[in-house]
Amino acid sequence: MEFRSIFDAAEVRTEFENAGINIYFIPLIWKYVVQNPNCEWDEIHSLPSSAYPLLQAKFRPSTSTVHFVADSSDEVTTKLLIKLRNGAFVEAVIMRYDTRLGKYGGQPRPGGPRSTLCVSSQVGCKMGCKFCATGSMGFKSNLSSGEIVEQLVHASSLSRIRNVVFMGMGEPLNNYTALVEAIRIMIGPPFQLSPKRITVSTVGITHAIKKLQSDLPNLNLAVSLHAPVQDIRCHIMPAARAFPLERLMDTLREYQKNSEQKIFIEYIMLDGVNDEEQHAHQLGKLLETFEVVVNLIPFNPIGTLSHFRTSSEQKVTKFQRILRGSYNIRTTIRKQMGQDISGACGQLVVTLPDKRSTGSAGLLTDIEDLSL
């Protein structure tokens, strides 16, 4: 018999209701498991007697295990290689920041050191983006809601997680039901994450974007745009053919009207492909009527899998200057984190690092804080 994760909420709720057990006990079980990941069910006191045989027969505190942990040399990034119950692997990445760095509204930021967790939603990905290592794997399988939440449980034993970004392996909106259920668990007890500290990234699956706003209001939406015109986008992101740029922008306009929230725009900088001044002006004109934060992402090499080159620092800075100066668009440049452990943006593909490396460095400013 295949055991399910205790964080597969729909299955747990159904089994409890069928057995006449109050579902009020479910968050209490989750809290105990988070605090005691290797627990046995009989260690949890105060549950109805009928709950114990049910839990023993059908659920496990965790169906995944941390197979390997790799720290970047600057100790700012930690990558977790997680083995699922079916033997497949996914990766999650902890990124450490300092919210006191920089200013907001002209004032110093409050807070202190915090961690953001980048989680995976699928094994592999069917989007096939040519600059992304995960895309080279092809699509293998969807994660259950429990397997998504278990990444947060594993990471929480290593660092206090404040933000969660769905920017790991897979296209989150292609695993929509599990995504929504996992986020609902994360924003409820015992995790109690604010929806405003959860970001879902998508290549632009328009019908799911429309549904997401009504199912999970107040989340941050990030769109992997990566090009200002359709032909370039199709060249580097084959899935863009199914979601034409004009239709995507109409969907985002409607999303923003209904949500009244900023939208994050992710834009990977590929030398000679999408990083010229004309591309900056095209992007500025495309986005000038939106409330957005553009995040320019230096391309991270993925070995022999890609023919792309990283844009020069001068090009990236010029691109940022055009968006800011000519179009008044808030534009940041993503700090490169975790390159040495293949944990940087676009580098997540299941490989086992040769060693665990450590070092020392200061903390960085968290991009997710920009929405606050």
Q: Residue 340 carries which DSSP code? A: G
Other Cβ atoms closer than 10 A to 69: 16
Q: Which residue has the tokens 């032909």?
A: 231
Other Cβ atoms closer than 10 A to 217: 12
Partner residues linked to 222 by β-bridges: 201, 264
Please say if 40 is a catalytic residue: no
Q: Which residue has the tokens 């699928």?
A: 122
Q: Of 361, 13, 326, 31, whose CA–CA distance to 188 is shortest?
A: 31
Structural tokens at position 216: 């999970």
Please say if 129 is a catalytic residue: no
What DSSP string runs through 247-263?
HHHHHHHHHHHHH---E
Q: Residue 126 carries which DSSP code? A: S
Of 91, 150, 266, 368, the catalytic one is 91
Q: Which residues contact 54 (CB under 8 A, 6 or more apart)?
A: 15, 16, 19, 21
Q: Would you state the torsion angle of the CA atoms of residues 49, 51, 54, 55, taken in this order, to the nearest 10 degrees?
A: -120
Q: Which residue has the tokens 């605090």?
A: 35
What single letter denotes the amino acid at residue 23? I
Structural tokens at position 217: 């209001």
Of 118, 129, 132, 345, the catalytic one is 345
Q: Would you state the torsion angle of the CA atoms of residues 208, 214, 215, 218, taken in this order, to the nearest 10 degrees?
A: 110
| Residues classed as catalytic | 91, 345
